[in-house]
């Protein structure tokens, strides 16, 4: 039974209108929003043909909300899964566009481009432009560097340009401007900028590639959803009726166009609750997302502003440290422009008698390392600390958080050498997408059984992550090339014995492991072709039993089979190509589908007691552990806009230390806003502004790191690769505050 705290109870008094909630880490905002949604349903605030719409940031939060709301509704004696819908904003945009693709300028058969394919298209377009315009490097690369004789730097330059173009395209779509419109505005204002011209051309080629494929990308979904809602008042009114209440979680991460979509759906007199923590806005660099939108909403006339400031997550020492960072930033940061990076409310411990009381406090809860050490020594000290702590704390959870994945990988290696059991969250296993992608490719192959390239695509997918074939990479590559040359697939599949298909492939004897894999695959293909006339759910189960052995993968296949059975009932005309498209939408992550791995169901630290999780700060958001190590808190990973700071966006090989991405995106915003002085701003201004924005976000990232800890917190730093980095400025301030308090106690 949910027992609300006094501040939560205030929010649950909501009956309608607009309300903004400023939350703090561990304040129970998910539970509060879920309880509010259930309350609106159970008290009859909506009709039978209406829903409470809950919008959140990530798929794992969708399931969390659905489960909690269902539980509250069940406690009230009503049916679960009725009267509410939980969607990510991208999922909501997809729903809207699917309902009216004509208004978005799309066919009903439009597809959503896989992220990897999108990246490949941009990379190809950027590479083609660089080949045609080698002078671009001469304009921006440090003149002392000869790219022709430095292949690694040439590679870095190419990757930098590709990344710049990808972010330019994403932001242009978020700002709702097409490449043709950009060109028109550039011509109108006689704006000639080589970097801008390159980005617009790559954007143009990328959009042409999308049209050729009949596809859109993830950024398109949101802007096209806005176009649909803006184009058809009747459709918009139907949606407003369908969703009379909108509850928005993680509102601090909303972008400009996302907020516009929700404002359209709410309407001038609608019901909208926005909950977020502006101090945890850590995804804002080079996007139009900004905590400013939530801050402005909280100050809007007619908006009831509430605080959700009680937190039972951390002990009082850790809460004080987080609040000290907040207060120092607001009152004493030496760069005045950064003083708005963090804001009130401060964290307040849980009230007496709270069902989630704060952990017991103790004097040694926090340790901040003062001495300068290099990266290897820092890792060594952290590993030694864990080795000393872990044996006596097997019932506790622990995490090591690093600013970047590369540093975290080094920590993983050191912990493994020390024999410490780890859990790593550095790279998503994407297990649901992996299984779904394999099944999709098999259905595509079966729908065109004579297509050699489709059979090769399946075999390539099955072999690329096979640890048994790790040492045979060249043999696998050669075999794939030979398979592509086969002209009559039926001859290969129905060869009498292995010697026959060895001859067909013009290959000598394969390594035994590869020979066995190929033989099994060809036999499986025959079985699947024979099973192709079966109902699609039975076909999928047949394929899954042959391909997978883990209970999770088999259970996922069964779940996918049920999904396709449902599609078959609703679309009797569907053939294998249409079912493959259903799976492709899930494999491309544009259609929500929950699997059975932790990646899908949400990571639960409590399931890994006695082990050490290694993650980046960003991936740890929303999670908590008893003991947390924050590493590499130096002035490179956490700069503060000081003269001696260095910045990741300023590549060492770029002339004048310019942040090319910042310079380009600043021009883009100026064009969109018809800001003529901004269009012709001198080079370097945007780089300096980007330093402030990045430093601001890193202050919030440090705050997020601190508030992951429940009982103990250790913060370390290193001198970096060049042995020049120093302790991050906010960490110096926290160390001084901590020393002063310890001396006074």
Domain boundaries, the chain: 6-98+226-308, 111-213, 336-427+603-656+700-744, 431-590
Quick one: pLDDT band at residue 738, thresholds 50, 70, 90?
very high
Return the DSSP state at 607: G
Residue-wise pLDDT tens digits, 56-111: 987 777 878 888 888 888 887 777 778 999 999 989 999 999 999 999 999 988 88
- Residue 276 phi/psi, 5-degree rounding, is -170, 170
431-447 vs 576-587: helix axis angle to the nearest 10?
A: 160
pLDDT level of residue 181 (50, 70, 90 thresholds): very high
**Domain range 336-427+603-656+700-744, its CATH number among 3.40.30.10, 3.40.50.12780, 3.40.50.300, 3.30.43.10:** 3.40.50.300
H helix runs in 333-430, sequence order: 375-389, 405-417
* CA 656/CA 641 separation, integer angstroms: 17
Confidence of residue 330 (pLDDT cuts 50, 70, 90): very high
Contact 458, 438 (CB under 8 A): yes
Prediction pTM value: 0.80
Residue 53 predicted with pLDDT over 50? yes
Q: Which of 532, 6, 52, 51 is nearest to 273 (CA)?
A: 52
CB atoms within 10 A of CB 533: 8
- Mean of the pLDDT values across residues 568-592? 74
**Comparing C-alpha atoms, which of 58, 57, 81 is closest to residue 71?**
81
CA distances from 344 to 20, 277, 306, 322, 593 (A): 14, 10, 12, 12, 37
| Tokens found for residue 346 | 């401060």
Longest dimension (CA), the chain: 87
Task: State the Cα–Cα distance between residues 92 and 96, nearest whole angstrom.
Answer: 6
Give 557 or 229, the one with higher predicted confidence: 229
Q: Comparing C-alpha atoms, which of 316, 257, 317, 264 is closest to residue 715?
A: 317
Residue among 472, 449, 556 nearest 518 (CA)? 472
Say what the pLDDT of residue 589 is.
47
Neighbours of 490 (CB within 10 A): 10
Average pLDDT over the chain reads 90
The strand pair at 215-216 and 111-112 is best described as parallel
Is residue 511 classed exposed, middle or buried when 0-12, 13-18 and 19+ CB atoms within 10 A define those classes? middle
Q: What is the second-level CATH architecture of the domain 6-98+226-308?
A: 3-Layer(aba) Sandwich (3.40)
Selection from 556, 726, 569 nearest residue 635 by Cα: 726
Name, in order, each residue with C-beta under 8 angstroms of 215's C-beta and a sequence gap of 6 or more.
110, 111, 112, 113
DSSP-assigned letter for residue 105: T
Q: What are phi and psi of 423, to 5 degrees?
A: -130, 125
Would you list the DSSP string of 658-719? --HHHHHHHHHHHHHTT-HHHHTPPTTHHHHHHHHHHHHHHHHHHHHHHTTEEEEEEE----
Q: Please give the span between the terminal C-alpha atoms of the chain, in angstroms, as a whole number.
A: 40
């Amino acid at each position: 039974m949910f027992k609300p705290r006094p501040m939560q109870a205030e929010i649950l008094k909501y009956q309608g209108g607009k309300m903004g909630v400023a939350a703090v880490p561990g304040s129970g905002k998910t539970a509060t929003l879920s309880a509010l949604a259930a309350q609106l349903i159970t008290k009859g605030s909506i009709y039978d043909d209406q829903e409470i719409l809950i919008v959140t940031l990530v798929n794992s939060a969708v399931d969390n909300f659905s489960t909690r709301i269902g539980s509250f509704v069940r406690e009230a004696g009503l049916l679960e899964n009725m009267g509410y819908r939980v969607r990510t904003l991208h999922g909501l945009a997809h729903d809207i566009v699917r309902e009216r693709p004509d208004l978005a300028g799309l066919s009903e058969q439009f597809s959503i481009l896989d992220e990897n394919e999108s990246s490949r298209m941009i990379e190809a377009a950027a590479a083609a432009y660089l080949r045609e315009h080698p002078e671009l490097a001469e304009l921006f690369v440090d003149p002392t560097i000869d790219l022709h004789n430095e292949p690694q730097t040439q590679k870095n330059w190419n990757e930098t340009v590709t990344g710049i173009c990808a972010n330019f395209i994403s932001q242009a779509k978020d700002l709702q401007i097409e490449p043709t419109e950009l060109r028109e505005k550039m011509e109108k204002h006689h704006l000639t900028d080589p970097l801008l011209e390159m980005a617009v051309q790559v954007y143009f080629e990328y959009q042409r590639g999308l049209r050729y494929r009949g596809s859109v990308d993830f950024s398109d979904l949101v802007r096209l959803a806005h176009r649909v809602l803006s184009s058809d008042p009747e459709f918009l009114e139907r949606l407003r009726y369908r969703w009379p209440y909108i509850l928005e979680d993680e509102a601090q991460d909303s972008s400009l166009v996302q907020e516009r979509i929700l404002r359209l759906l709410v309407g001038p007199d609608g019901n909208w609750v926005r909950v977020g923590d502006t101090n945890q806005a850590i995804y804002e660099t080079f996007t139009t997302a900004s905590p400013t939108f939530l801050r402005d909403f909280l100050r809007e006339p007619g908006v009831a502003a509430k605080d959700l400031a009680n937190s039972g997550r951390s002990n009082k020492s850790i809460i004080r440290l987080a609040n000290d960072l907040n207060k120092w930033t607001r009152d004493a940061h030496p760069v005045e422009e950064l003083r708005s990076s963090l804001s009130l409310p401060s964290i307040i411990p849980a009230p007496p008698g709270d069902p989630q009381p704060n952990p017991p406090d103790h004097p040694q809860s926090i340790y901040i390392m003062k001495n300068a050490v290099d990266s290897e020594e820092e890792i060594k000290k952290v590993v030694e600390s864990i080795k000393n702590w872990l044996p006596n704390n097997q019932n506790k959870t622990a995490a090591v958080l690093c600013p970047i994945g590369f540093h975290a990988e080094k920590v993983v290696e050191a912990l493994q050498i020390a024999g410490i059991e780890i859990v790593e969250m550095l790279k998503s296993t994407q297990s649901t997408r992996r299984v779904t992608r394999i099944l999709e490719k098999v259905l595509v192959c079966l729908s065109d059984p004579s297509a050699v390239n489709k059979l090769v695509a399946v075999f390539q997918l099955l072999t690329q992550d096979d640890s048994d074939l790790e040492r045979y990479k060249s043999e696998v590559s050669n075999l794939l090339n030979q398979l592509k040359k086969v002209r009559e697939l039926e001859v290969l599949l129905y060869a009498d014995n292995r010697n026959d298909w060895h001859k067909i492939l013009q290959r000598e004897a394969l390594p035994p492991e590869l020979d066995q894999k190929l033989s099994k695959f060809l036999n499986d293909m025959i079985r699947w072709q024979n099973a192709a006339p079966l109902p699609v759910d039975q076909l999928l189960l047949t394929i899954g039993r042959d391909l997978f052995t883990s209970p999770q993968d088999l259970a996922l296949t069964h779940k996918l089979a049920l999904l396709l059975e449902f599609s078959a009932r609703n679309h009797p005309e569907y053939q294998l190509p249409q079912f493959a498209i259903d799976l492709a939408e899930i494999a491309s992550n544009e259609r929500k589908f929950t699997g059975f791995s932790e990646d899908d169901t949400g990571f639960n630290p409590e399931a890994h007691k006695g082990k050490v999780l290694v993650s980046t700060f960003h991936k740890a958001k929303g999670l908590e552990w008893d003991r947390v190590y924050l590493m590499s808190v130096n002035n490179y990973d956490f700069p503060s806009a000081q003269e001696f700071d260095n910045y990741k966006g300023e590549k060492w090989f770029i002339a004048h230390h310019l942040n090319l991405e910042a310079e380009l995106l600043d021009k883009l915003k100026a064009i969109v806003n018809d800001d003529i002085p901004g269009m012709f701003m001198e080079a370097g201004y945007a780089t300096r502004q980007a330093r402030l924005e990045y430093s601001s976000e890193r202050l919030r990232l440090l705050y997020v790191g601190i508030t992951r800890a429940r009982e103990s917190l250790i913060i370390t730093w290193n001198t970096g690769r060049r042995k020049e980095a120093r302790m991050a400025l906010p960490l110096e301030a926290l160390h001084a505050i901590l020393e002063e308090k310890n001396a006074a106690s």
